């Protein structure tokens, strides 16, 4: 029995900014709509994500890794990791997973695992995950991450708590 790859991974380019920004906002809506105000999902949020993706794609730092997932020619997810940006000194690992999102309709296709492997491999790393995101937490646990007891509220929505996981 053969399994057909149902997604493709590749590095993003400047032509992908709009699609990445839209997937970013949609993935946030799917994941956090019951935890964050509507302003996180509107046109202002989309403009903010466009700026982020322009900056990420323009960054050619060798310690950064970025990948997107496509299905049937459409961007459906992305992952980005690199040198720690969190203010901890020293950080708990030399790599930080800044973000990994996959549109809900594509959960279970293997793309999230492939993206994580592409940007981190098996390297020691850390990440921040929403305190109320059991699906993501289970995914990270399957990949060797554990909570280390550190948590912080989001700067914009103090009730949105993020917890740190380390492997």
* Domain membership of residue 132 as a residue range: 8-166
Express each pLDDT in 156-167 by its tens digit.
888 899 999 999
Other C-beta atoms closer than 10 Å to the C-beta of 69 total 28
Torsion angle, CA of 21/27/32/33, rounded to 10 degrees? Answer: 90
* Residue 46 lies inside a defined structural domain of this protein: yes
User: What pLDDT was estimated at residue 40?
Assistant: 86
CB-based contact 80:10 (threshold 8 Å)? no
* Residue 20 lies inside a defined structural domain of this protein: yes
Please tell me what DSSP assigns to residue 76: E
- CATH code (residue 41): 3.40.630.30
At residue 33, the 3 state secondary structure works out as coil
* Residue 1 lies inside a defined structural domain of this protein: no
User: What pLDDT was estimated at residue 1?
Assistant: 38
User: What pLDDT was estimated at residue 88?
Assistant: 67
User: What pLDDT was estimated at residue 2?
Assistant: 37
Please list the rounded mean pLDDT of every run of 10 residues in the chain (167 residues). 70 97 97 87 94 91 92 96 81 95 96 98 96 97 97 88 97
* Residue 3 lies inside a defined structural domain of this protein: no
Q: Please state the domain count of the chain.
A: 1
Write out the two tokens for 167: 């492997």
The phi and psi torsions of 25 (rounded to 5 degrees) equal -65, -45
User: What pLDDT was estimated at residue 159?
Assistant: 86
At residue 107, the 3 state secondary structure works out as coil
């Amino acid at each position: 029995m053969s399994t057909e790859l149902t997604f493709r991974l590749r590095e993003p380019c400047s032509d992908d900014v709009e699609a990445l920004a839209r997937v970013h906002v949609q993935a946030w809506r799917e994941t956090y709509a019951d935890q964050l105000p509507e302003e996180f999902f509107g046109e202002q949020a989309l403009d903010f994500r466009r700026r982020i993706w322009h900056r990420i794609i323009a960054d050619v730092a060798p310690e950064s890794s970025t990948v997107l997932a496509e299905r049937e020619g459409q961007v459906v997810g992305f992952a980005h990791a690199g040198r720690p940006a969190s203010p901890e000194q020293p950080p708990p690992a030399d790599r930080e997973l800044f973000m990994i999102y996959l549109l809900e309709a594509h959960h279970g296709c293997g793309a999230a695992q492939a993206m994580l492997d592409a940007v981190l491999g098996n390297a020691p790393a850390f990440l921040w995950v929403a305190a109320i995101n059991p699906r993501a937490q289970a995914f990270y646990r399957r990949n060797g991450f554990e909570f280390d007891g550190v948590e912080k509220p989001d700067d914009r929505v103090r009730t949105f708590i993020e917890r740190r996981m380390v492997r």
